[in-house]
Chains A and B, each alone.
Chain A
């Protein structure tokens, strides 16, 4: 049998690249505004200018430097998405643990609910609820949290149900530990890696969804350097100064790709560990 020898090198390189990208993004999100105190400086007289030596990517209609905006915008872009992912993780894990552990009616209700939420087109629901409800960005993030959580609910619930009858869990029960202790201390840590991987994937999804909301006019408040917003705002500059529109789009894609790849890799690593 001739088999292709597979080297793991390219995979590792890619993972390292993703991690680097994310580290840079995190850095920008944490210190971007501190490093570039003048990121929101306006220059109306300049207006939307082409890239030059001072403004590498040109300026937007308010004469703000796009490159600086992008760096400063990492925070608002990633924070919203991270909020969605983390919120969904908290909500999903809580409900998932409860459902999987308590079983019975609670489980039936949560399970149905998760199925229903999963089947709903998240973006549309967010659009309708946030649009009609008039709560703006916060409501949109809230709705996205709820609609992103069923993935986690299902994951945790099925893990709990799967593991609830595993000998080590039952052994802990016969030792007289309370059910909640067993669920939180024994079962949950075992799903945690998958949950984390899933959260990364949700994070990536949220970056894309929120940018779509911005595109449809429901995103962050005006003026915020959010990438989705910049992309939507600078779309009209596409043929004058392509970099003004392409750079935020590229950043969104790169961030989402890095998160997705890393999430996938983590997933894979975890399932591998589970296999051996």
Chain B
């Protein structure tokens, strides 16, 4: 007989179980999102720490540690902290802790991965009993996202000082004000979380939450089937299918986008016809259907519809996206475009993908197979994630994958990085088009969200015609939970950027 789970129905019938164990598909090396900023890192850190603002599962900003905030001028934000918040070690939260947390991110010695978000911040100061004031060099429409959990997770000054440089390791763990506190962390093994009873929010149902790292897909599923875990987060879509027989699987759009980036300044992709030929050869619908098992959406542009959040009404976005006519899968058309291009006899290109994204590899292979038919040789190679990241900005490879997980719920995050003519470090297509850049530039200073949305949408549709990027799909992530558990409160794209576990309940 399969082993009974260690505990069962922790006392009160129908209430939440005392202890829940979930499997994560890969290990964390650090709990500190400034060191390692994967989605799973956020999923853990957001249980423990909070930002000044919070994000609802659907991507709306709301009060977090700051109960209120005002913007006296374009470049100044004043946050008033919630009263009576304490860290899980019992010390009260003060504005100084917020300042210290930002300082820790900005300290160059810490080489914090989030530091770039604060590049244009002039000062962060305590300006009152519960008040923190932030001043910027220039207006930034996205700034509020910076102090949401995706850009700022607050810890205490004392803690940060005590453990400078080694926050988030198994010894030091994390300190925060969140719904849970970490009580144990062993890389490649587990993270252990206990309910923080002093949390200001609604009391979480689950007292103990254990997140086990189980890297092997087969083992992970056996763990679920044998009842050793109650569910899993972050399942890949091809894997998730296998889980459907053992658990409730929910797929949520995760805002991430996969696209092909053509270097518009380099042969052969400086030729728009070549780009179109490649686009015609790509069976994007097939990829979403076959490789991602229909659990992804064929992308029309870089920002997924969900990213537009409250900027623009959804219908308007959908309508605009529908009008974008990306080249359809059509080999004959591809041949024709290629024949008319400067490389009528085809060419050879390389496409590298990171080992952590096997679905990208499969897409690359699928593309290679199609391109072969029109006389283009595509060499597909798997490289390590680090190497892939290093290659991205190197300009050495004219054809690359763009694989991006936005941290904010704002399309500008993507557009500014990839379409803005002056964004040299990130604009891997080296796409520079005055009209697009102009629209984006105007959007940064535009404070009216409707107008801003319109400007951004204009940039998107304008750029689409030039095809610097071929958006492939918007992915989704799968969460599996045993039938006894449910994650209440909606499962929008931002479900894991917040105290998600607090919403775990018995079903």
Contact = CB atoms under 8 A, between A and B. Distances in A.
Given A222-B380, A222-B381, A235-B218, A45 B286 contact: yes
Contacts of B387: 134
A238 B242 contact: yes
B355 A44 contact: no
A62 B293 CA distance: 11
B407 to A, nearest CB: 27
B289 interface: yes
A147 B455 CA distance: 61
Contact of A240 (B241, B286, B382): B241
B134 interface: no
B295 to A, nearest CB: 11
A62 B362 contact: yes
Interface in A46-67: 46-48, 61-63
Given A62-B291, A233-B358, A236-B217, A48 B238 contact: yes
A217 interface: yes
Contacts of B380: 221-223
B358 A44 contact: no
A42 B293 contact: no
A264 interface: no
Given A222-B365, A233-B358, A47 B293 contact: yes
Contact of B286 (A44, A136, A222, A233): A44
A62 B363 CA distance: 8
B361 interface: yes
Contacts of B217: 235-236, 238
Given A44-B291, A236-B236, A239-B221, A62 B382 contact: no
Contact of A61 (B242, B290, B355, B382): B290
B364 interface: yes
B291 A238 contact: no
B283 interface: yes
Given A235-B217, A236-B239, A223 B365 contact: yes
A238 B225 CA distance: 13
B223 to A, nearest CB: 12
Given A222-B364, A236-B239, A47 B221 contact: no
Given A61-B238, A217-B382, A221-B382, A239 B245 contact: yes
Interface in A27-41: 40
A83 interface: no
B228 interface: no
Contacts of B383: 134
A213 to B, nearest CB: 12
B368 interface: yes
B381 A61 contact: no
Contacts of A238: 217-218, 221, 242
B28 interface: no
B368 A223 contact: yes
Interface centre among A45, A221, A239 (most CB of B within 10 A): A239
Interface string B88-120: 000000000000000000000000000000000
B311 interface: no
Contacts of B366: 42, 44, 62
B467 to A, nearest CB: 21
B114 to A, nearest CB: 29
Nearest to A49: B290
B85 interface: no
A222 B378 CA distance: 12
A62 B364 CA distance: 11
A62 B238 contact: no
Main secondary structure of the interface of A (DSSP, over half): loop
Contacts of B241: 240
A237 interface: yes
B331 interface: no
B296 interface: no
Contacts of B126: none
A265 B365 CA distance: 42
Nearest to A42: B369
Interface string A204-223: 00000000000001000111
A177 B358 CA distance: 60
A44 B290 contact: yes
A46 B287 CA distance: 10
Contacts of A45: 286, 289-290
A44 B364 contact: no
A224 B12 CA distance: 55
A44 B369 CA distance: 11
A145 to B, nearest CB: 22
Interface in A228-267: 233, 235-240
Interface in B337-370: 353, 355, 358, 361-362, 364-366, 368-369
A63 B382 contact: no
A58 to B, nearest CB: 13
Contacts of B382: 217, 221-222
B377 to A, nearest CB: 13
A44 to B, nearest CB: 3
Contacts of A134: 383, 387
A236 B242 contact: yes
B369 A40 contact: yes
7 contacts: A45-B289, A61-B238, A61-B290, A62-B291, A62-B362, A236-B238, A240-B242
Given A62-B365, A236-B238, 18 more contacts: A43-B290, A45-B290, A46-B290, A61-B238, A62-B291, A62-B362, A134-B383, A134-B387, A217-B355, A222-B365, A236-B218, A236-B239, A236-B242, A238-B218, A238-B242, A239-B242, A240-B241, A240-B242
Interface of A: 40, 42-48, 61-63, 131, 134, 136, 217, 221-223, 233, 235-240
Interface of B: 216-218, 221, 236, 238-239, 241-242, 245, 283, 286-287, 289-291, 293, 353, 355, 358, 361-362, 364-366, 368-369, 380-384, 387
